[in-house]
């Protein structure tokens, strides 16, 4: 594993400033939002001006900014982890489901219209210039943009004209970390299947794999890690343990009941939990390698 990381660090360290990193997942609730939140706090702790970004988010929960605009609660939490106020540019498209087939479409925090999924699938291509312009402006003003994907990049029925996974990675020219949830089972199949369903140019963007919500003795997992690295020629750069944290969940796929999902946290309570999250990820993620991907 160390040799593989060293190989990739040699290939991608040095050169022009990138200024971003993207986290994609093998499934919904794989841990994308958690990892992005942790990275936002870690980069802030390390003295960088960091900004979260998710081009499109579907969530039944939203956060109202000080000026009454609505964005995803996940990007709002990431903003607070970054030490900045939530802003609609962090989540330019918010989809709030109103039925099994339709959603309210918010653009830059304002309700645009309610659309059926099939109609939005056609409409979203027109939003690509807005997304690109929003992202480009952000990148010029900060040190690091932490970009979050949605669902899985391997949803082959949705890949055409993608604006949130590999389509967004291309717009931002971002290196990608792929995270998967081992607690739900099938982690190696999920990682392998996701990568292999991508186009060759898309696969090249994935520079690291992360296994999330691990319980038990890691030595038992290590042979599988070695095998998946050999199969995909991509290093596993972190195995993050399953640790309950009182940080608000975005949607219904939750692992345990949390007080923060019922009542609003105090700032002190939230800061303590963000600190714990950042420490856990620092201890179990190869941050030196990850920084080489950002290429500051």
Separation between Cα atoms, residue 19 and residue 26, nearest integer Å: 24
In degrees and rounded to multiples of 5, residue 197 shows phi and psi of -85, -5
The pTM assigned to this predicted structure is 0.91
Mean pLDDT taken over the chain = 89
Q: Is 225 helix (H, G, I), strand (E, B) or coil?
A: helix
Share of the chain above pLDDT 70, in %: 88
| 234-255 tens-digit pLDDT | 999 999 999 888 677 666 455 5
Separation between Cα atoms, residue 91 and residue 289, nearest integer Å: 27
**Given a cut of 50, is residue 12 above it in pLDDT?**
no
Query: Mind listing the domains of the chain with CATH numbers?
Result: 2-294 (3.40.50.300)
| 122-172 tens-digit pLDDT | 999 999 999 999 999 999 999 999 999 999 999 998 888 899 999 999 999
Pairing of strands 144-148, 20-25: parallel
**Given a cut of 50, is residue 215 above it in pLDDT?**
yes
Terminal CA-to-CA distance of the chain, rounded, Å? 24
């Amino acid at each position: 594993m160390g040799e593989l990381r060293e190989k990739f660090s040699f290939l991608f360290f040095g050169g022009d400033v990138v200024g971003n990193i993207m986290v994609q997942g093998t499934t919904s609730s794989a841990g994308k939002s958690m990892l992005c939140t942790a990275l936002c706090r870690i980069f802030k702790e390390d003295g960088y001006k960091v900004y979260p970004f998710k081009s499109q988010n579907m969530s039944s929960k939203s956060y109202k900014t000080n000026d009454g605009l609505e964005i995803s609660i996940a990007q709002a939490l990431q903003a607070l982890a970054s030490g900045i106020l939530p802003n609609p540019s962090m989540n330019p498209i918010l989809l709030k489901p109103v039925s099994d087939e339709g959603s309210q479409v918010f653009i830059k925090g304002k309700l645009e219209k309610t659309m059926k999924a099939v109609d939005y699938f056609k409409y979203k291509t027109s939003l690509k210039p807005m997304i690109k312009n929003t992202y480009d402006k952000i990148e010029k003003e900060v040190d690091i943009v932490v970009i979050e994907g949605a669902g899985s990049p391997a949803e082959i029925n949705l890949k055409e004209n993608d604006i949130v996974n590999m389509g967004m990675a291309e717009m931002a020219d971002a290196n990608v970390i792929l995270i998967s949830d081992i607690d739900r089972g099938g982690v190696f199949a999920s990682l392998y299947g996701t990568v292999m369903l991508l186009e060759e140019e898309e696969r090249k963007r994935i520079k690291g794999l992360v296994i999330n919500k691990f319980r038990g003795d890691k030595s038992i997992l290590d042979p599988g890690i070695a095998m998946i690295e050999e199969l995909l020629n991509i290093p596993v750069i972190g195995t993050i343990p399953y640790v309950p944290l009182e940080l608000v969940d975005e949607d219904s796929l939750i692992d345990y009941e949390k007080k923060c999902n019922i009542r609003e946290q105090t700032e002190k309570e939230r800061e303590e939990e963000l600190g714990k999250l950042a420490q856990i990820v620092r201890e179990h993620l190869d941050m030196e390698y990850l920084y080489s991907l950002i290429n500051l």
